[in-house]
A and B are shown apart, each in its own frame.
Chain A
């Protein structure tokens, strides 16, 4: 039961941050290696976890639990299952890349210190199995990101950072009330000590329908801000655009997943009935996000803002998949969470590289880069096609499964969502055409191509884009048991669940994997 792996993964970055804080500012050359080494150690542990993960086990693995605050019944309970495994690995994997991919323009010491704190928080948030501990990490990741955007960002960075902080705080304020209410009402219903343990609360389902619906709404607002769902999304384009490259990459890869992960882990698990009840609204918001994000992305003049809006659309697919409440849909959603992190992370890195060379991200100021930077153009094409969802690349599998789930569980929403796939092709190809095709003049003609070191940073992401596109079974095998258990859990707790055109128990285990594999 007690594995020290997850606590170690959370503690090591804190130790690294402490080291960075202790190194005097004049030894500036030391910060980067220390931060990099720390993140690589964490990645090593994540890989160890991945290798030792028991395939076919739906429950939590590497579990550990220690009492934190006794009289509130809060314990440091950590564990991963198929749903969180790859998100932890993604978080651990993307940090070294983000560190290598960009350097701060000034003040390296706090920069690397905050990044390591963010790493600790990102790992913690995905493996916390106690509501309060989850909330602590959910909130604590705000602080480093706030400083990253505010201190090393571009343009209207202060505005973007403050907006980001306040939007999230607003959501989490409601969630805090919700989770306390959940625990208190649960205690009143079943007696015994107060507990915030996810596993216990989800299993016992002690709340009345009305209460759990209200509390679900409180949680949903917090997660909707994080996803972000229309109309709570406006912080995202600002934060994404003004953040430094590493910040944007981490926002895309880690922070945006908090909302969708929250919906799966805390929404469906804790409030199955309320999730089914709210599904039409969530599906609608997801679809609105897909279409609206795509339309906004089409109209952007700034390349980075375009990528930011594309995230709104991509996350709409994830929400669609999750709230179809089918095995395929949720699997697709989880897969898409990871894949979006990889592809959008790569896109932000590429945009950052363009910006470093040309000091502009205006699409109109860039043109014909293909002639001056052919390798970069090639890499961009691959990543872009993955983002569009071209079969054979990683973006396809998740989107396909999410849509498949939607067609089974919520047909009409699925029909509308498909248009988002087409729109994605429109805005990305059009942007590619304007930036890379055409005639290169002036600065554009002299632009440097990718260097070897930049290529090395992108290489792991490109490998994953192709590998996971061809062979998603590695992931699906590990995700599926947990997702199936979750759908069964929903089915067991919702009376007329079978009444919808969803048949989770009939959907064979291998079906999702095989369909994905063929893609």
Chain B
């Protein structure tokens, strides 16, 4: 007694996280042992294989959870349910697409080195840890693994000053966010006596807290931490600068994966652990940041002239939409958020993929003017970009429409029709910004304006193909995925021991 009890770990049940983490560490080892003898494409192929293997593990576990129900593993610190599996699957998709985008980018920028992929894999491993965390400390560790990897990734374009600046900014802001989150965790621990989500949930159901101020403060601080990570207003200031400065594939990964993981963590903590008892306290806070994000995200995006900044502000608006789903604090809202996150992964990675290509060598052509005449010089690329943009605007037969549909439904179902109206009106304002890009591509500019030709690397075109297929399939034949999102109920199951 008294000694540290090491819990038994069922490795197969946490396989996706282990595959990603191990793949990252192994890649680093293999590459440092073999020096430069491996071909340049090796790291990319390795990363893609790892993400596919992790995805396969997710599919296996999905069936297992269906048979046996949700589990609590590693001494109750990690939860295995279909919610976390759905999120992990989404993260695997973003690693897959992200690696393809990186391959083309690094080749063009002559920055090929395996560290990018190592960091990508580690970041994803951190994200998967967050998604499955049943303990606030595990959640925090996952968040830090994810964040630190992405800080470095943002600063990895060593020849571009803006990339370094972006990494530093992200790091400083992110450190603040982590501190807030950790403070919040500490206060919640102080109020409830545990960091385990299951125990917190049970404790709050059985007891009335005397130190309510401590608990409320903890909730508020944790919310601030998460809001930083998902780039929700008023904790969004870092996002436009960081998205703009970071290497474009990294911006894509940030917009998709970091948001997905942070929302997964947020749903686990707020909807699951705090949902039954404290929903009346946290819902107004989430409501406020949701509305602010919707409004600021769409309005500020309108005045941008840099496409990467535009996409950054639009991602703030999208965060607002997902917050509307979180705000409903129901199983339906959680499914809506999951569907939205997967759709957004396809749409935003596709959009940034095109931005990467149009950015040309040096990753510097991101002004709206650089898109002029693209409809004439690269009709295919312009069409694909238009589809991603219209999807983000919520045009039917794309993933963007249905994801908005699900969010609105969850809002109305929990009685917040007015919030649904605000969200949709913000979406109309945001539509204008997507149209601005389309106008530039199709309706402006002559062929004479062409500076340097836009080259589309093979890997990037594969990535765009995947993103396009995802965007359209989720909009046209959504049934398999909507079923999965519906089945992906988040559960907090007490540990068997």
- Which of B57-65, B105-113, B267-275, B419-427 participates in binding chain A? B419-427
* One of A137, A139, A181 near B417 (C-beta < 8 A): A181
Contact of A139 among B395, B478, B482 (CB under 8 A): B395
Apart from the given pairs A143-B390, A169-B428, 13 other A-B contacts in the complex at a CB distance below 8 Å: A69-B479, A69-B482, A70-B483, A72-B482, A110-B379, A136-B397, A158-B439, A165-B431, A166-B431, A169-B431, A173-B427, A177-B420, A180-B409
In the complex, which residues of chain B have a beta carbon less than 8 angstroms from the beta carbon of A139?
A: 395-396, 401
CA of A151 to CA of B382, assembled, Å = 14
Interface: A184 (CB within 8 A): yes
Instruction: Write out the residue numbers on chain A whose beta carbons fall within 8 Å of the beta carbon of B402.
Output: 69
Are B443 and A157 in contact (CB-based, < 8 A)? yes
For the complex, count residues of A whose C-beta is within 8 A of B.
Answer: 33
The smallest beta-carbon distance between A117 and chain B, in angstroms, is 10
Q: B428 to chain A: which residues have CB within 8 Å?
A: 166, 169-170, 173
Given the complex, which residues of B lie within 8 Å of A158, measured CB to CB?
439, 443-444
Contact A135 B442 (CB under 8 A): no
Confirm or deny: B435 has a beta carbon within 8 angstroms of a beta carbon on chain A: yes
Q: Distance (Å) between the CB of A211 and the closest chain B CB?
A: 9
Q: Is B413 an interface residue (CB 8 A)?
A: yes
| A69, A162, A170: the one within 8 Å of B478 (CB) | A69
Docked Cα-Cα span, A251 to B479, in Å, equals 34
Task: Give chain A residues whose Cβ lies under 8 Å from the Cβ of B421.
Answer: 173-174, 177
Interface residues of A (CB under 8 A from B): 68-72, 110, 132, 135-137, 139-140, 142-143, 146-147, 150-151, 157-158, 161-162, 165-166, 169-170, 173-174, 176-177, 180-181, 184
Q: For residue A140, which residues in chain B have a CB less than 8 angstroms away from its CB?
A: 395-397
Q: Is B238 an interface residue (CB 8 A)?
A: no
- Is the CB–CB distance between B435 and A166 below 8 Å? yes
The interface of chain B, by Cβ under 8 A from chain A, is 379, 390, 393, 395-397, 401-402, 404-405, 408-409, 412-413, 417, 420-421, 424-425, 427-428, 431-432, 435, 439, 442-444, 478-479, 482-483, 486
What is the CA–CA distance of A180 and B336 in the complex, to the nearest angstrom? 14
Chain A residue nearest in CB terms to B409:
A180
Q: Are B443 and A150 in contact (CB under 8 A)?
A: yes
Cβ contact within 8 Å between A71 and B424: no
Residues of B within 8 A of A136 (CB): 396-397, 401
Contacts of B420 in A (CB 8 A): 177, 180-181
Whether the Cβ atoms of B405 and A173 lie closer than 8 Å is no
Question: In the complex, are the beta carbons of B412 and A177 less than 8 A apart?
Answer: yes
The answer to whether residues A173 and B396 also contact, given A150-B439, A166-B431 and a CB cut-off of 8 A, is: no
- On whether the beta carbons of A150 and B482 are closer than 8 Å, the reply is no
A-B contact pairs, 8 of them (CB 8 A): A110-B379, A157-B443, A176-B424, A177-B408, A177-B421, A180-B405, A180-B409, A180-B420
| Cβ-defined contact, B439 with A162, below 8 A | yes
Nearest to A68 among chain B residues (CB) is B479
Given contacts A165-B435, A173-B425, contact A143 B443 (CB under 8 A): no
User: What residues of chain B lie closer than 8 Å to A161, measured between beta carbons?
Assistant: 443
User: Cβ of A135: which chain B residues have Cβ within 8 Å of it?
Assistant: 396
The 8 A-B pairs of least Cβ separation, nearest first, read A173-B424, A136-B396, A177-B420, A158-B443, A169-B428, A139-B396, A173-B428, A170-B428
Q: How far is the CA of A146 from the CA of B438 in the complex (A)?
A: 11
Given contacts A173-B427, A176-B405, A177-B408, contact A147 B442 (CB under 8 A): yes
A81, B431: Cα distance in complex, Å: 35
Contacts A136-B396, A158-B443, A169-B431 given; indicate if A177 touches B483 (C-beta within 8 A): no
How long is the Cα–Cα vector from A72 to B481 in the complex, in angstroms?
13
A143 and B404 CA atoms in complex are apart in Å by: 18
CB distance from B390 to the nearest CB of A (A): 7
Which residues of A are found within 8 Å of B401, using beta-carbon distances?
A: 136, 139
Residues in chain A near residue B404, CB distance under 8 A = 176
For the complex, give the distance between the alpha carbons of A72 and B432 in Å. Answer: 29
Report the Cα distance A156→B132, complex, angstroms: 54
Say yes or no: B442 contacts A151, CB within 8 Å.
Answer: yes
CA distance A411 to B390 in the complex (A): 46
